[in-house]
Amino acid sequence: MTAVIDIQGLRFAYAEATVLEDVNLSIQDGEFLGLVGPNAGGKSTLLKLILGLLEPQAGRIRVLGHSPRRARRRLGYVPQYPAFPRDFPIRVEDVVLMGRLGTGHGLLGRVGRYRSADRQAVRQALREVEAAELIGRQIGTLSGGQMQRVLLARALVGDPAILILDEPTANIDQRMEGEIFDLLATLNRRMTIIVVSHDIAFISGYVSRVACLNRTLLCHATDDIDGQMINELYGEEVRQISHEHSHAHGHEHSHGHSHADVHGQAQPRSPAPVAVSRGHAHA
């Protein structure tokens, strides 16, 4: 396998506050990587560095063999919060069309209008996320889950090699969460995926690897996510909770299990390797 993302000795600070330090991470082609960690642990910041939206103070990031900025057009990104207000008067088709900007695929004919190839790509992307019927809707009328599908379509419409999602299911119910991750599992057959989540146990049923990020400390390598590791990662923030996921369509990942998130943690059901290391973290 080849590394599609390679990060060495990365350090990043907003003004005085160091958020990431000595981060080393290699992501292989075809991986489905879950990025977890406590609030303010630096997850979104790391994604923005990979996307070339921020520049590191030290270290090196290569994405598909290039600088993040050069590779940007081959990345699909679903941000944590959409960059436009939900009451903005814009239709689903227009939101997804935005994903064609800067991707090098078709985009804007000579008179400055989207070409039919762009509109065709939008229909295809919406079909892929099972939201074709939403194409004419105003975004303000969508449910949280529908909106996430639309944002996913926007990320897919440029035919990315790597899909990067920042907590795509933070504000939607558990059934919808399962549906979105089923979709991601299907997409992972043809693209590398990185997804930020607070929910280690849930994503463990889907991802091929979990990377743990806590400000300047990344979890040490281990084969299992166990209670001790989660405590190290989340510290006092965690407490025990447990509840069932009940996915309506009974996909293979459906199971009742405990959750590890900012609100709580418990013994996750599925072991998952953690292969991110900080330079001098416990090996």
Ligand X SMILES: Nc1ncnc2c1ncn2[C@@H]1O[C@H](COP(=O)(O)OP(=O)(O)OP(=O)(O)O)[C@@H](O)[C@H]1O
* Residue choice 34, 37, 205, 268 for contact with ligand X (CB under 6 A): 37
Beta carbon nearer to ligand X, 147 or 211: 211
Residue 177 has phi, psi (to 5 degrees) of -60, -45
106: which 2 tokens? 């078709």
Q: Does 112 bind ligand X (CB under 6 A)?
A: no
Contact stretch for ligand X (CB under 6 A) within 35-43, 100-108, 186-194, 274-282: 35-43
Asked whether position 168 contacts ligand X by CB under 6 A, the answer is: no
Beta bridge partners of 196: 35, 166
Question: Is the CB of 24 or the CB of 254 nearer to ligand X?
Answer: 24
14 is an interface residue for ligand X by CB under 6 A? yes
Instruction: Candidates 4, 10, 23, 42: give the one binding ligand X (CB under 6 A).
Output: 42
Q: Which listed range, 39-47, 147-155, 186-194, 221-229, lies at the site for ligand X (CB under 6 A)?
A: 39-47
Instruction: Using CB under 6 A, pick the residue from 4, 21, 34, 45 that binds ligand X.
Output: 45
230-243: string of b/e by CB count within 10 Å (b at 16+)? beebbeeebeeeee
Nearest to 29 by CA among 61, 60, 64: 64
What three-state secondary structure class fits 92? helix
Q: Maximum CA pair distance of the chain?
A: 60
The residue (of 43 and 149) whose beta carbon lies closer to ligand X is 43
Q: Which residues contact 176 (CB under 8 A, 6 or more apart)?
A: 144, 145, 148, 169
Looking at the Cβ atoms of 92 and 203, the one nearer to ligand X is 203
- Which residues lie near ligand X (CB under 6 A)? 14, 19, 37, 39-45
